């Protein structure tokens, strides 16, 4: 069992809707990242937060946004959902502000957009 928990585990949304995914990191892990994993692919980096500030972002449009809170929890928000947003969304935390020492992943949220 990892120290990173995500909710919900599964979600079905309609195209055009908005969704919020939640993550609770391990205590003391100030760095949290979000990844999108499409079926049969490796995880793709969305963005990273360190002490409530975004400090890195991958090639995802602005409709993907996030927040990190002082209690080690974080959110991923996706607006104007598209069919291609269907994927496993993974939250990952690290003690290292850069993430160079690796991340611990949560169990993920499976999002299906119909």
Partner 1 sequence: QKEVEQNSGPLSVPEGAIASLNCTYSDRGSQSFFWYRQYSGKSPELIMSIYSNGDKEDGRFTAQLNKASQYVSLLIRDSQPSDSATYLCAAYTGRRALTFGSGTRLQVQP
Count residues near partner 1 (CB under 8 A): 26
Ordered DSSP codes for 18-42 = -EEEEEEPPTT--EEEEEEE-TTS-
| Binding test (CB under 8 A) with partner 1, winner from 55, 60, 67, 73 | 55
Which range, of 14-22, 54-62, 71-79, touches partner 1 by CB under 8 A?
A: 54-62
| 108 sits near partner 1 (criterion: CB under 8 A) | yes
58 counts as binding partner 1 under rule CB under 8 A: yes
Q: How many CB atoms lie within 10 A of CB 29?
A: 17
* Tokens at 40, concatenated: 């049969």
Query: Of 18-26, 43-51, 61-69, 78-86, which part binds partner 1 (CB under 8 A)?
Result: 43-51
The verdict on 104 binding partner 1 (CB under 8 A) reads yes
35 contacts: CB under 8 Å, gap ≥ 6: 43, 44, 45, 46, 89, 90, 91, 92, 105
> What's the min distance (Å) between Cβ of 3 and partner 1?
13
Residue 68 and residue 90: Cα distance in Å, rounded? 15
Which stretches of the chain bind partner 1, using CB under 8 A? 2, 33, 35, 40-45, 48, 55-56, 58, 88, 90, 98-108
């Amino acid at each position: 069992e990892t120290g990173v928990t995500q909710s919900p585990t599964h979600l079905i949304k309609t195209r055009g809707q908005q969704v919020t995914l939640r993550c609770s990191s391990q205590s003391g892990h100030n760095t949290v990242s979000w990844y999108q994993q499409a079926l049969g692919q490796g995880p793709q980096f969305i963005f990273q937060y360190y002490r409530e500030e975004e400090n890195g972002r991958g090639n995802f449009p602005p409709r993907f946004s996030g927040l990190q809170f002082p209690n080690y929890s974080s959110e991923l928000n996706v607006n104007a959902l598209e069919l291609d947003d269907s994927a496993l969304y993974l939250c990952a935390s690290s003690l290292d502000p850069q993430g160079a020492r690796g991340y611990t992943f949560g169990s993920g949220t499976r999002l299906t957009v119909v």
